[in-house]
A and B are shown apart, each in its own frame.
Chain A
Amino acid sequence: MADSLNQPKVTPEIVKQHGLSEEEYDKIKEILGREPNFTELGIFSVMWSEHCSYKNSIALIKTLPRDGEAILAKAGEENAGAVDIGNGQAVVFKIESHNHPSAVEPYQGAATGVGGILRDIFTMGARPIAALNSLRFGQLDNPRVRYLVDGVVRGIGDYGNSFGVPTVAGEVYFDESYTGNPLVNAMAVGIVKTDKIVSAVAKETGSPIMIVGSKTGRDGIHGATFASVEISQESEERRSSVQIGDPFTEKLLLEATLEIIDQDLIVGIQDMGAAGITCSSSEMSAKGECGIEIDIEKVPVREDGMTPYEILLSESQERMLVCVKKGCEEKVSEIFKKWDLEAVIIGQVTDDKLMTIKLDGQIVSQIPSNDLVLGGGAPVYTREIKKPDYIDSAEKLNYDDYKLNIDWNSALLKLLSSPNICHKGWVFDQYDSTVRTNTAVGPGSDAAVMRIRKTRKALAMTTDCNARYCYLNPRMGAISAVCESARNIVCSGGKPLAVTNCLNFGNPYKPDIYYGFSEVIAGMAEACLALDTPVTGGNVSFYNEDPQRAVFPTPVIGMVGLVEDISHITTQTFKDDGDAILLVGENKNELGASEYLHTLFNQTKGKVPALDLDCEKKLQSALLAAIQKGLVKSAHDCSEGGLAVAIAECCISERENMVGASIKISDEIRSDCLLFGETQSRLILSCDSKNENELIAYFTKQGISCKNIGTTGGNKLTINGLVSVDLEKMAEAFYNALPELMEKVA
C-alpha cells in the first residue's frame, strides 16, 4: 500500500466526520482484515451512505411487486427499469430526487437532477423522449420559497431545453412542510430497441475501462453523504457539495454514447452520478463478478493537485465509465473525438473481484467490489417504528363545525386560484415541451402522451402524489397515489404498464418517520399488485427535514402506460356544446384531507377518503374499453378540489376553446362534500349524446355507478342551484393566480 501520499491518519473523529457508525467501521475492518486508509474510508463512506446503499430502505423496498410479463429490466438490476412495448421496442424510465442540492443551490441542484436522470436513461442505450418532474415547495408568501421556485424551474428548463428533451408533464405543490427542504424529483422516459439494451456491467478479464465525457473536477465531493443528513444552517456552507451542470456536454455525450452502443463496441456502461468513479467502478465490477483496476493518474482532471481521494469521490457531471470490448478502444475514441469529447483508458477488468486503485503503479486502495455495493456487503437495517401521535387526533372532523351557508361561487373561485390547484403554465411554459415533434398531449392534461414514430402507438406518462393524504394516512395515501397515476394514464387512453417511485421522507432514525415509510411501502405494494403495475425502480430520499420539521411523507409515483392506437388519445377538456356529461363513481359525504379544508379553513385534517382497489380496477378497465371503442370525447379524473373543480377544469383548461356546462346532481349529501369532497374513484366524462347509453352500460355491467349529470354548452358552469360562474371569471382565477403569486415584488 502506498504510504507516500501523506494521507491523513484515520482517527475516530475522522470516521465520525465520514458519517460511519462504530459498528460500520468495525465491519470495514473485518472486510479488509486491517484498518482502512483515508482514501478507503472515503470510498466506504460514500458507498455505504444512505444515498448509495439504501441501507435503511432496501429491506422494505424488496417487498414491492417487481415482476411482470413485459418487464425486461427489473428494479435494482439496471440504471432504470425497462418494459417491453411490442414492435421490438422497450420503454426505459426512472425517477430520482435532487432535493438536498436544490435546497441550497436551486438552479444547479435542479439542473443536475435532470442531467442525472437523463444519463440513467441513455446509459441503457435508450434515447430520452420525455422528461417529467414533481416539485414541492413551502408557501409562496415566503420570499425564500419564491427564490427556490424560480431557481428550480429555471434549472430544470435550462438543462432540458438545451439538451433537447421535451419536458411534458409534472406536478407542483405547496405546503409549509417543504419550506426549508423543497422536493425536486426528476423523471425521464426513453425508448430503445430491445436488442440494444445495454447493461451496467464490467466483465471479461483484460477488457479496457474508459472514462468518457467531461473532465473530473473538485465539484460535488461527498454529494452523496451530504444528501444523507438533514438540511441545516451548515448545509449552506456545503454549497460546494452541489455539482455544476453542462447540458451542452450532456447532449454530445448522449449522441456519442448511443453511437458506441449502436456500433456494438462495448461490454457495459454506467453513468457517474453519486460517488462518481467509485460507485460506477465498484458496481460494474460487482455486477460482473469480476475485479477492476483503475490507474487514477490517467483520469483527465480539471485542476492540478487533486488527490486520489478527491478524484474518486468527485461528482463532476456528464461523465460515464465504459467497459469496452477488447480491440474496440480506437473506435470508441474516434467517435468521442467526433463529438469533441474525451475518451481515455484508465484501467481494466481483472479476475480478482477487487476494486484496486493505483497511483503511478502503487496501490492506494484495494477493496472487494461486492462488499461496497447494495445487495453485497453494504449494511442493511430495519428501523424502529412508532405511529405518530398526531394521526389519530387529526383524523377527527366534526362536520357541525362547517357551516353550509357559504357562497359556493366564491369558494370555487378561491380553490381554482389556490396554488395547489391553479394552472401551472407559469412553470411549464419555461420548459420546451415540443422539441423532437412527438408530443401529442403536452403539460396540463391528466397525463402527457408521446407518439412512438413509425407505429400507431403512443406512451402516456404522469407523476402523482397527494402528500396531504400520506401525512394523514400514509398507507391510504400511497394507495391513492398509485391509483390516481393509473387513472390519469387511463383517462388519456393508455393501459398502465409499470411504476417508478421517488420516496421522499424525513430522518429514518426517527421511529414516527419510519412508520410513515413502512406504511407507504405497504400501501404501494397493495395497489401496484392490484393494478398489475410492477415497480421497476426509483429512488429513496431520506433526511428531508429543516430545523423546524420533516416534509410530509411524499411517495411520488411516476407511471407509464401504453396507448395501443393514437386514435385512443383522450384529453380532459369538454369538446363541443350539447354533449352529455357523465359521472362515474359515487359521491359520498366525505370532506377529510381536502384542498377545500386547507384553502378555506387552513386545516390539514379529517379522514383520508377510502379507496376500494377492486372497484378502482373495474372502473379503469371499463373506461379504457370505452375509450378504445371510441365512445368517450373527454375524460378527467376527480382529485384535489373534488367534483366542482374537476368539472371546472373540463370547462376551462383549454383556454382558447372553453366550453360551459350545466350540472344537476340529485345525491342528497352535504353541499360542501358534493362540490369539494375528494371521494376517490370518480371520473368526469363527456360523450356524444347518442353514445350515452352504450357508454353507461360499460360501467354498470361492471357494477360501477355511471350516470348523466348534465350537458355541455353555454358560457357558464352551473351546478344544481349552488354554483353559477362565468367561464371567463373562472379562467381569470385559474390562469392568473400563479403569475401573480410569483411575480409580485416582496
Chain B
Amino acid sequence: MKVGVVTFPGSNCDYDSYALVRHVMRENVEFLWHKSTDLQSCDLIILPGGFSYGDYLRSGAIARFSPIMESVIKFANSGGLLLGICNGFQMLTECGLLPGALIRNDSIRFRSHNVYLKVEETSSAFTNAYASETVIKLPIAHGDGNYYIIGEELRQLEDDGRVLFRYCDREGNLTKESNPNGSVNNIAGIVNMERNVLGMMPHPERAGEKILGSVDGLKVFESVKAALSTLTTAGKA
C-alpha cells in the first residue's frame, strides 16, 4: 500500500496520518504538496485535519481550489480511495465529492475529547476490518463538525447505507448526549455513492497506538490495505 497525505498551508494533522502509516503499519507513505498536481501513484489519498488557509472564510472552502485538488478529484472520480479526516471531510463537502455541509458545533464551542462511534457498515473499503455494529473509541477535535443534510439527499444517504459511523454512547445507543456537535442522525462519517470516498470528523489516525489511549482507529487503515490487496489479487487473476 502506498499512501499520500496532502499538506495544505495550515494542515496540522498531516504528520499524524503519515506517522501512523509509516511507523505503526510500516507501509509506504508520502507527503503531497498542495502546489503540486502529482499524486505519485499513491493507492490511498488522505486529506488531513487542520485549519487549511486558516479556515478564515469557511472550513475547507479555500483548500478545494489548490492545484493538487484537481488531481485528487480526478483520482476519486476514477475510483481511487480518498479519505478526508476532520478538515479533510470539510473539504470533501466543499468540493462536492460528498453531500451535505459541516457547520458550527451546536455548542458553539470547539470540542476535543474521545467519542464512541458505532460502525454501521462493514462492507466498505474503509471498514471491512471491523465487526458489524462494533462500538469504537476515537478522539474528536473540531469546531465545525455539525453534519447538516436534509430531504432527499439525507434519505438517499440513509437508504444506500452510506453512513459508516455514528456517534453513540459506550453501549452503542444513538443518544442526543453522545452526539458532540449536533450532527443530523448522529452522523460522524459517510461515503459517496461509489463508496470510494470517506469523510469523517473523528480522528482514526490519532487512535492507532495503545499509549495514545485507543487503537480503534487502526482498522480504518487496515481495511484499506485489505481492500487494496483484494483489488490487486483480482487484477492479477
Q: Does A234 contact B (CB under 8 A)?
A: no
The answer to whether A429 and B205 touch (CB under 8 A), given A434-B139, A439-B212, is no
Question: Which residues from 128 to 159 on chain A have a C-beta closer than 8 Å to any C-beta of chain B?
Answer: 154, 157-158
Q: Which residues of B contact A161 (CB under 8 A)?
A: 51, 110, 112, 141, 143
Interface string of A409-439 (1 = CB under 8 A from B): 0000000000000000100111111111101
A340 touches B9 (CB 8 A): yes
Write the chain B residue with the least CB distance to A252.
B9
Most chain A C-beta atoms within 10 Å of own C-beta, residue among B20, B49, B109, B208: B109
B16–A430 touching, CB < 8 Å: no
B170 in the interface (beta carbon within 8 A):
yes
A671 to B206, CA, bound (A): 46
Shortest beta-carbon distance from B116 to chain A in Å? 10
Alpha-carbon separation in the docked complex, A547 to B71 (Å): 61
Taking a contact as CB atoms under 8 Å apart, the answer to whether A437 and B56 are in contact is no
B15 interfacial contact with A, CB 8 Å: yes
Structural contact, B16 and A436, CB atoms closer than 8 A? yes
Interface residue? B54 (CB, 8 A)? yes
List residues of chain A with CB within 8 A of the CB of B212. 434, 437, 439-440
Size of chain B's interface in residues, with CB distance under 8 A? 32
Stretch binding the partner chain, chosen from A12-20, A29-37, A243-251, A607-615: A243-251
Knowing A161-B141, A437-B205, the reply to whether A246 touches B110 (Cβ < 8 A) is no
Give A366 Cβ to nearest chain B Cβ, in Å: 39
Evaluate whether A162 and B13 lie within 8 angstroms (CB atoms) in the complex, with A430-B111, A437-B206 already known: no
- Chain B residue with minimal CB distance to A439? B212
- The listed residue with most B CB atoms (<10 A of its CB), out of A429, A435, A451, is A435
B16 neighbours in A (Cβ, 8 Å): 435-437
Interface residues of A in 600-619 (CB under 8 A from B): none
Check B53–A248 contact: CB distance below 8 A: yes
B197 CB to nearest A CB, Å: 24
Q: Is B55 an interface residue (CB 8 A)?
A: yes
Knowing A164-B13, A251-B10, the reply to whether A434 touches B53 (Cβ < 8 A) is: no
**What 1/0 flags go to B195-207 for Cβ under 8 Å of A?**
0000000010110
Q: Say if the beta carbon of B50 comes within 8 Å of chain A.
A: yes
Decide yes or no whether A656 CB sits under 8 A from chain B: yes
Does A173 reach chain B (CB closer than 8 Å)? no
Q: Which residues of A contact B53 (CB under 8 A)?
A: 248
Taking a contact as CB atoms under 8 Å apart, the answer to whether B19 and A437 are in contact is yes
A439 contact set on B, CB distance < 8 A? 212
Query: CB of A515 within 8 A of chain B?
Result: no
Contact B20–A437 (Cβ < 8 Å) = yes
The complex places the Cα of A429 from the Cα of B19 at a distance, in Å, of 25
Contacts of A162 in B (CB 8 A): 10, 12, 50-51, 54-55
Please encode chain A, from 354 to 370, with 1 for each CB lying within 8 Å of some chain B CB and 0 for all others.
00000000000000000
| Tally of chain A residues near chain B (CB < 8 A) | 33
Q: Is the CB of A164 within 8 A of B12?
A: yes
B170:A656 contact, CB within 8 angstroms = yes
Is there a chain B Cβ closer than 8 Å to A725's Cβ? no
Q: Mark A684-717, 1 if CB is under 8 A from B, else 0.
A: 0000000000000000000000000000000000
**Known: A161-B110, A247-B51, A429-B111. Contact between A437 and B12, CB under 8 A?**
no
Q: Does B113 contact A (CB under 8 A)?
A: yes
Say yes or no: is B209 at the interface (Cβ < 8 Å to chain A): yes
Cα of A451 to Cα of B139 in the assembled complex, Å: 18
B150 near A: Cβ within 8 Å? no
Q: Do residues A435 and B141 form an inter-chain contact, with CB atoms below 8 A?
A: yes
Majority DSSP secondary structure for residues of A touching B: mixed
A542 at the interface (CB under 8 A from B): no
Query: Contacts of A436 on B, CB cut-off 8 Å?
Result: 12, 15-16
**Looking at B19, B109, B112, B209, which has the most chain A CB atoms within 10 Å of its CB?**
B112
Task: Check if A430 sits within 8 Å of B109, measured CB to CB.
Answer: yes
Interface flag for A25 (CB, 8 Å): no
Taken together as a complex, chains A and B put the C-alpha atoms of A430 and B141 apart, in Å, by 8
Binary per-residue interface labels of chain A (152-188) against chain B in the complex, 1 for a CB within 8 Å, 0 otherwise? 0010011001111000000000000000000000000
B104 to chain A, nearest CB (A): 13
B-contacting residues, A237-277, CB 8 Å: 246-249, 251-252
Q: In the docked arrangement, what's the CA distance between A432 and B15, Å?
A: 15
Asked if B211 CB lies within 8 Å of chain A CBs, one says: yes
Interface string of A440-468 (1 = CB under 8 A from B): 10000000000101000000000000000
A246 to B9, CA, bound (A): 13
Chain B nearest CB: distance from A534 CB in Å? 30
Determine if B203 and A434 form an interchain contact, defined as CB atoms under 8 angstroms apart: yes
Please give the distance in Å from A494's CB to the nearest CB on chain B. Answer: 15
Q: Which partner residue on chain B sits nearest A254 by CB separation?
A: B12
* B13, A158: Cβ atoms closer than 8 Å: no
Distance A433 CA – B209 CA, assembled complex (angstroms): 16
Q: Which residue of A lies closest to B12 (CB)?
A: A164
Q: Kindly provide the distance from the CB of B54 to the nearest chain A CB, expressed in whole angstroms.
A: 3
**A339 lies within 8 A of chain B by Cβ:** yes
A566 proximal to B (CB < 8 A): yes
Which residues on A sit within 8 Å (CB–CB) of B15?
A: 436
Contact of A339 among B9, B51, B141, B211 (CB under 8 A): B9
- The answer to whether A164 and B50 touch across the interface, beta carbons within 8 angstroms, is yes
Q: State in angstroms the CA–CA spacing of A211 and B9 once bound together.
A: 21
Known: A161-B51, A252-B9, A437-B19. Contact between A451 and B111, CB under 8 A? no
Q: Which of chain A's residues have a CB closer than 8 A to the CB of B203? A: 434
B112 pairs with A432, CB closer than 8 A: yes
CB atoms of B112 and A434 under 8 A apart? yes
Residues in B165-207 with C-beta less than 8 Å from chain A: 170, 203, 205-206
* Residues B55 and A429 in contact, CB atoms below 8 Å apart: no
Contact A430 B12 (CB under 8 A): no
Q: Which residue of B lies closest to A153 (CB)?
A: B109
Contacts of A451 in B (CB 8 A): 211
Chain B residues near A430 (CB-CB < 8 A): 109-112
Instruction: Flag if A248 contacts B10 (CB, 8 Å).
Output: yes
Beta-carbon nearest neighbor of B170 in chain A: A656
Given known contacts A248-B56, A656-B170, A433 and B112 CB-to-CB distance under 8 angstroms: yes
Chain A window 320-340, contacts with chain B (Cβ cutoff 8 Å), 1 for yes, 0 for no: 000000000000000000011
Is B112 a contact of A248 with CB atoms below 8 Å?
A: no
Question: Across the interface, do B211 and A434 meet the contact criterion of CB distance under 8 Å?
Answer: no
**Complex Cα distance A273/B212, Å?**
34
Measured between beta carbons, the chain B residues less than 8 angstroms from A440 are 211-212
Residues in A neighbouring B10, C-beta threshold 8 A? 162, 248, 251-252
Chain A residues lying within 8 Å of B19, measured Cβ to Cβ, are 437, 453
Contacts of A656 in B (CB 8 A): 170
Interface residues of B in 193-237 (CB under 8 A from A): 203, 205-206, 208-209, 211-212
Closest to B209 in A: A437
Which of A161, A428, A656 has the largest number of chain B CB atoms within 10 A?
A161
Within the assembled complex, what's the spacing in Å between the Cα atoms of A163 and B10? 7
- A-B contacts, 23 of them at CB < 8 A, read A161-B141, A162-B10, A162-B51, A162-B54, A247-B54, A248-B56, A252-B9, A339-B9, A340-B9, A430-B109, A430-B110, A431-B110, A432-B110, A432-B141, A433-B112, A433-B141, A434-B112, A435-B16, A435-B49, A435-B141, A437-B19, A437-B212, A440-B211
For the complex of A and B, the 10 pairs showing the least CB-CB separation, nearest first, are: A164-B12, A248-B54, A432-B141, A162-B51, A434-B139, A437-B16, A432-B112, A430-B110, A434-B206, A440-B211
A-B contacts besides A339-B9, A434-B139, 13 pairs, CB < 8 Å: A154-B110, A162-B12, A164-B50, A247-B51, A430-B110, A434-B112, A434-B203, A435-B12, A435-B13, A435-B49, A436-B16, A437-B19, A437-B208
Give me the interface of A with B, judged by CB distance under 8 Å: 154, 157-158, 161-164, 246-249, 251-252, 339-340, 425, 428-437, 439-440, 451, 453, 566, 569, 656
Q: Which residues of B contact A (CB under 8 A)?
A: 9-10, 12-13, 15-16, 19-20, 23, 49-51, 53-56, 109-113, 139, 141, 143, 170, 203, 205-206, 208-209, 211-212
